């Protein structure tokens, strides 16, 4: 029996399933708990009771398992008995919620919305309301988000082989949609975006259920990755009509044409469904999304998930850390917005020379003008995350410190604009004027709020003097009250003759007069004793109580007025969200580009020339990550020349041989990374480079068993190779590091040969094929567009020196046996291996010739 999506059902625990209980017999509080729970049966409900947020019934069991907390129980009602309960202290909510959401549990927080003492005095249950709904894709709290990474919520609509995909980051407002064909393509797009949550329309009954990463389900369409969270949503909100209406009314437009969505109905349906989810989960926060924009996956270089992984673009293959990735090596951005922009660029390299050159021009300008670059970067250091701060202001969750930080950042913009005006390139020009409204807004915030406001918004101390006349009057009255209290102390000391008499205040008893117990016999008759402590007695007087009522209600009014003034200001900031975000985008771009300029200067990169042709000509190229790890002087640069325009010499496919650890993989990846960097507009680690644009970069690098899908090393390798042969074009770059090693030598060699031949003759993709099969060197004598290269080593009597130099020519021998000797294999084994090799070589001379008589189909 399925009970709830919230995990590990355990019906051995009595009363874990609330549905089996007679709700009327539950205590009033638990009846309310169940009412709220029934609205969100698939979320974990955290319910405020005193100083704790508690879960009851099955949720309590789940919570205790997931957070390793003690499972306790509570009286559920006279005829019910004890029911399971687990809780977390209220102040620890922010610590625990992210853990739960990360594990794929949606969380609903039901908090007390009034002072419990008031309800207690009136002998009724304290009022509680849902204050937060947290799901992985709809987080907005900074503490739960990674500053330099987007947090995407996605929605998918499938119609046979076609699909629509919408995604949004509700903390920054980005909102995009697209439509295309082929599930494999959708798989790739999702892997690029790495959404925290994907919404899927379904007609199944358990709407709202969330599939956690790795969880299996028959309802997840085949071909979609199971490494994400999926939330099942009603199909109704994904219908074209409802989705269209929702989008038109949200963005207050008459047609979808302006968003470029009129011809992508599946994209519209996905976007509408996504918007409904945001509205549903963010009732408390008015989320400001930017106008929906459509895009085409064909506008960007395609880098499938495998290749992104193999080239270690955003994380390393071995331990999946950021350190050691390309992004880490070239990210010198100084703002969170710039960091996110660079990550987006690197995952979406461009396909048009014009767009690439616009970025290059700006980098070039900043490379040349050190002073301008330094000043801009100095300025950027002082700019906070405007995109997210303004989002918080718009949704009403920003506090006063957030607004101060926003104002300080906005105040930097005119200076940044003035610096940008010294430049001529497109991205600098885009920043030259900062809308005057933003400057005024910064001034206003600074004039309104005190310099160092408290975190709390309802306890006063936020607004400066002189902002509001009423507030100033109330403050001077409060001041008078303070003076009255001080004078009361003096008066009473004189009257009683007790020199250490004090006037004090606490939340429970209000104002009191405190007297040391040793002096208690001198207390006047009009004092009423209120509380006895170890060393002191506390009293009140009629006069003090009367004054207290006035002071407290005045203070409440004062705090309320401050809060209202703050909310007004925050709303004003929220109204400028769109403007602030458009400037933020320009700032993010300048940050990304000045960071790339910085790394280009420090690491000695060059500006590549991009062409519409096919050539890949790199002089003295370096691997951007390895050279930083080894240190520049220790890295041996190598050149590359593929598909030169001069047809006679043109090489499409390079067979690269060389002993183990000589540097084949490093060279292969270096070429891929240089091409990728060039297509995001970056300068590249080389002396010079002329690069024809690539439509795709494919890599096939030493596979590991894919235990999760039960595929062998060899099958993984063959799948990846099939993908390359089926999708590669003459404008693709193909990097193959060993093919056919996972099977018998002759099988492997035969497949490797056939693949290389097909790539060189049919696809004519620019290819580097690293291999230990030097038999493949034969191909170069048969095909004009194949060339042999080797990574050289120097053989010494007792060791091999790796020169890491790539030079023309095939390796005439392999060093496997030599490596075995150096590793300490017994002499007799080495000698025997040499004998066997001589025998094999004599009997296996390859004379394959060219493919004949087999048609492509």
Ligand X SMILES: Nc1ncnc2c1ncn2[C@@H]1O[C@H](COP(=O)(O)OP(=O)(O)OP(=O)(O)O)[C@@H](O)[C@H]1O
Residue ranges of the binding site: 658-665
Nearer CB in complex with ligand X: 383/666: 666
Shortest separation between residue 620's beta carbon and ligand X, angstroms: 10
**Which of these ranges, 159-167, 193-201, 660-668, 758-766, lies near ligand X under the rule CB under 6 A?**
660-668
* Cβ-based nearer residue to ligand X, 188 or 771: 771
- Cα 303 from Cα 693, distance rounded (Å): 13
Given a contact cutoff of 8 angstroms between Cβ atoms, the answer to whether 733 and 621 are in contact is no
Tokens representing 333 are: 């951005």
Per-position DSSP letters for 492-532, written without gaps between them: HHHHH--TT-EEEEETTTEEEEEEEGGGGGG--TT-EEEEE
Please state the residue numbers annotated as binding site for ATP: 658-665
In the complex, least distance from residue 616 CB atom to ligand X, rounded to whole angstroms = 17
Shortest separation between residue 806's beta carbon and ligand X, angstroms: 8
Show Cβ contacts of residue 269 under 8 Å, excluding neighbours closer than 6 positions.
157, 164, 201, 238, 239, 240, 243
Q: Are 78 and 59 in contact (CB under 8 A)?
A: no
Which is nearer to ligand X, 87 or 658 (by Cβ)? 658
Nearer to ligand X, 760 or 793 (CB): 793
**Shortest distance in whole angstroms from residue 706 CB to ligand X:** 20
Smallest distance from ligand X to CB 602, Å: 19
Cβ proximity to ligand X: between 397 and 639 the closer is 639
- Give me the residue whose beta carbon is nearest to ligand X: 663
Q: Are 175 and 195 in contact (CB under 8 A)?
A: no
Contact track, ligand X, 787-806, x by CB under 6 A: -----------------x--
| Tokens linked to 279 | 């509205």
Between 638 and 675, CB nearer to ligand X:
638
Region binding ligand X by CB under 6 A among candidate stretches 353-361, 413-421, 524-532, 653-661: 653-661
Question: CB-wise, 630 or 822, nearer to ligand X?
Answer: 630
Q: How far apart are alpha carbons 365 and 367 in whole angstroms? A: 5
CA-wise closest residue to 761 among 735, 740, 739, 779: 779
Helices 400-420, 436-448: inter-axial angle, 10-degree rounding: 140
The residue written with tokens 């947020």 in the block is 53
Judge whether 404 and 414 are in contact, CB under 8 Å.
no
Per-residue binding string, ligand X, 57-76, x by CB under 6 A, is --------------------
User: Considering the complex, what minimum distance in angstroms separates the CB of residue 689 from ligand X?
Assistant: 16
Distance CA 72, CA 220 (A): 36
Contact stretch for ligand X (CB under 6 A) within 214-222, 345-353, 417-425, 628-636: 628-636
CB of 770 to ligand X, least distance (A): 6
Taking contact as CB under 6 A, which single stretch among the options 303-311, 534-542, 610-618, 632-640 is the one that binds ligand X?
632-640
Q: Are 658 and 792 in contact (CB under 8 A)?
A: yes
Using rule CB under 6 A, residue 138 touches ligand X: no
Comparison of 106 and 663: residue with beta carbon closer to ligand X: 663
R_g of the chain computed on alpha carbons:
35
Asked if 618 is part of the footprint of ligand X (rule: CB under 6 A), the reply reads no
Provide the 10 A C-beta neighbour count for residue 606. Answer: 18
Instruction: Tell me how far apart the alpha carbons of residues 328 and 336 are, in angstroms, rounded to a whole number.
Output: 14
Q: Report the nearest approach of ligand X to the CB of residue 664 (Å).
A: 3
Q: Taking CB under 6 A as the rule, does residue 636 contact ligand X?
A: yes
**From the list 175, 230, 448, 635, which residue makes contact with ligand X (rule: CB under 6 A)?**
635
Distance from C-alpha of 301 to C-alpha of 729, rounded to nearest angstrom:
13
CB 328 within 8 A of CB 322: yes
Residue whose CB is less far from ligand X, 272 or 685:
685
- Chain positions 661 to 720 lying near ligand X, rule: CB under 6 A, are 661-666
Interface with ligand X (CB under 6 A), residue total 15
- Least distance (Å) between residue 796 CB and ligand X: 17
Lookup: tokens for 723: 């993908």
The least CB distance from residue 661 to ligand X, in Å, is: 4
| 751 lies in the site for ligand X, by CB under 6 A | no
Q: CB 790 → ligand X: shortest distance, Å?
A: 10
Closest distance to ligand X from the beta carbon of 88 (Å): 46
- 349: helix, strand or coil: coil
Given the rule CB under 6 A, which of 7-15, 520-528, 634-642, 742-750 is the region that contacts ligand X?
634-642
Around Cβ 746, how many Cβ atoms within 10 Å?
10
- Out of 626, 643, 749, 779, point to the residue binding ligand X (CB under 6 A): 626
Q: Is 726 helix (H, G, I), strand (E, B) or coil?
A: helix
Residue from 658, 681, 692, 810 that binds ligand X (CB under 6 A)? 658
Alpha carbon distance 269, 159 (integer Å): 11
From CA 117, how far away is CA 439, in angstroms rounded? Answer: 45
Reduced 3-state DSSP string for 186-242: HHHHHHHHCCCEEEEEECCCCCCCEECCCCCCCCCCCCCCCCCCEEEEECHHHCHHH
Binding window for ligand X (CB under 6 A); candidates: 354-362, 633-641, 690-698, 845-853: 633-641
Angle of helix 542-575 relative to helix 386-394, nearest 10 degrees, comes to 120
Of the pair 170, 793, the CB lying nearest ligand X is at: 793
CB 606 within 8 A of CB 687: yes
Instruction: Pick the closest to residue 228 from 269, 270, 200 (CA basis).
Output: 200
- The residues of the shown chain that bind ligand X, judged by CB under 6 A, are 626, 630, 634-636, 638, 658, 660-666, 804
């Amino acid at each position: 029996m399925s009970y709830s999506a919230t995990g590990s059902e355990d019906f051995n625990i009595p009363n874990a399933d609330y549905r089996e209980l007679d709700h009327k017999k539950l205590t009033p509080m638990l009846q309310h708990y169940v009412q709220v729970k029934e609205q969100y049966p698939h979320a974990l409900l955290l319910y405020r009771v005193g100083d704790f947020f508690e879960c009851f019934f099955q949720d309590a069991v789940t919570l205790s398992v997931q957070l390793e907390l003690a499972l306790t129980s509570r009286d559920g009602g006279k005829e019910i008995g004890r029911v399971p309960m687990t809780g977390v202290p209220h102040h620890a909510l922010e610590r625990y919620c992210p853990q739960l959401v990360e594990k794929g549990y949606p969380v609903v927080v039901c908090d007390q919305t009034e002072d419990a003492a008031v309800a207690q005095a009136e002998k009724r249950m304290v009022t509680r309301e849902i204050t937060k709904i947290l799901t992985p894709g709809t987080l907005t709290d900074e503490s739960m988000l990674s500053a330099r990474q987007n947090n995407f919520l996605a929605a998918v609509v499938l119609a046979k082989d076609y699909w629509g995909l919408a995604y949004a980051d509700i903390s920054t407002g980005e909102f995009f949609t697209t439509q295309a064909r082929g599930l494999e393509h959708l798989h790739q797009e999702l892997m690029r975006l790495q959404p925290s949550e994907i919404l899927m329309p379904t007609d199944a009954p358990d709407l709202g259920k969330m599939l956690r990463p790795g969880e299996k389900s028959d309802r997840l369409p085949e071909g979609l990755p199971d490494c994400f969270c999926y939330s099942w949503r009603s199909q109704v909100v994904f219908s074209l009509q409802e989705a269209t209406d929702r989008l038109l009314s949200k963005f207050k437009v008459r047609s979808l044409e302006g968003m470029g969505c009129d011809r992508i109905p599946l994209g519209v349906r996905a976007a509408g469904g996504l918007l409904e989810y945001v509205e549903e989960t963010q009732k408390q926060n008015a989320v400001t999304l930017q106008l929906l924009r459509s895009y085409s996956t064909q506008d960007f270089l395609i880098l499938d998930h495998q290749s992104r992984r193999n080239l270690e673009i955003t994380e390393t293959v071995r331990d999946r850390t950021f350190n050691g990735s390309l992004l880490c090596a070239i990210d010198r951005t100084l703002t969170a917005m710039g960091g996110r922009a660079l990550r987006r660029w690197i995952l979406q390299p461009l396909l048009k020379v014009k767009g690439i050159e616009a970025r290059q021009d700006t980098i070039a300008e900043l490379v040349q003008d050190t002073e301008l670059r330094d000043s801009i970067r100095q300025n950027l250091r002082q700019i906070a995350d405007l995109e997210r701060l303004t989002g918080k202001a718009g949704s009403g969750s920003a506090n006063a410190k957030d607004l101060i930080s926003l104002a300080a950042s906005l105040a930097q913009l005119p200076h940044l604009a003035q610096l940008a005006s010294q430049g001529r390139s497109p991205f600098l020009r885009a920043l030259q004027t900062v809308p005057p409204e933003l400057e005024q807004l910064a001034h206003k915030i600074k004039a309104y709020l005190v310099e160092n406001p408290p975190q709390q918004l309802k306890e006063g101390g936020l607004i400066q003097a002189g902002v509001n006349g009423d507030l100033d009057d109330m403050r001077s009255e409060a001041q008078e009250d303070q003076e009255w209290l001080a004078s009361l102390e003096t008066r009473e000391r004189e009257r009683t003759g007790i020199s250490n008499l004090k006037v004090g205040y606490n939340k429970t008893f209000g104002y009191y007069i405190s007297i040391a117990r040793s002096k208690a016999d001198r207390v006047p008759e009009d004092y009423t004793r209120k509380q006895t402590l170890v060393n002191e007695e506390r009293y009140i007087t009629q006069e003090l109580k009367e004054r207290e009522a006035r002071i407290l209600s005045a203070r409440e009014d004062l705090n309320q007025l401050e809060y209202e003034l703050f909310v007004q200001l925050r709303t004003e900031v929220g109204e400028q969200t769109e403007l602030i975000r458009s400037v933020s985008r320009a700032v993010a771009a300048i940050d990304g580009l000045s960071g790339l300029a910085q790394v280009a200067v420090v690491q000695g990169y060059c500006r590549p020339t991009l062409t519409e042709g096919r050539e890949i000509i790199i002089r003295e190229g370096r691997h951007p990550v390895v050279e930083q790890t080894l240190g520049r002087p220790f890295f041996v640069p190598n050149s590359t020349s593929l598909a030169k325009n001069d047809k006679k010499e043109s090489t499409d496919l390079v067979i690269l041989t060389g002993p183990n650890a000589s540097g084949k993989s490093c060279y292969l990846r270096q070429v891929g990374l240089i091409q990728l960097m060039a297509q995001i507009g970056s300068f590249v680690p080389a002396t010079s480079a002329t690069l024809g644009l690539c439509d795709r970069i494919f890599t096939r690098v030493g596979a590991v068993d894919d235990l999760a899908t039960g595929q062998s090393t060899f099958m993984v390798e063959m799948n990846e190779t099939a993908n390359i042969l089926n999708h590669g074009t003459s404008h693709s770059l193909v990097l193959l590091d060993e093919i056919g090693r996972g099977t018998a030598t002759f099988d492997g060699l035969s497949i490797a040969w056939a693949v290389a031949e097909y790539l060189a003759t049919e696809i004519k993709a620019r290819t580097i094929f690293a291999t230990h099969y030097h038999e493949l060197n034969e191909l170069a004598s048969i095909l004009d567009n194949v060339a042999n290269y080797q990574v050289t080593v120097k053989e010494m009597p007792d060791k091999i020196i790796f020169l890491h130099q790539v030079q023309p020519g095939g390796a005439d021998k392999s060093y496997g046996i030599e490596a075995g000797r150096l590793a300490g294999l017994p002499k007799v084994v080495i000698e025997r291996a040499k004998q066997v090799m001589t025998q094999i070589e004599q009997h296996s001379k390859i004379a394959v010739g060219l493919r004949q008589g087999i048609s492509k189909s």
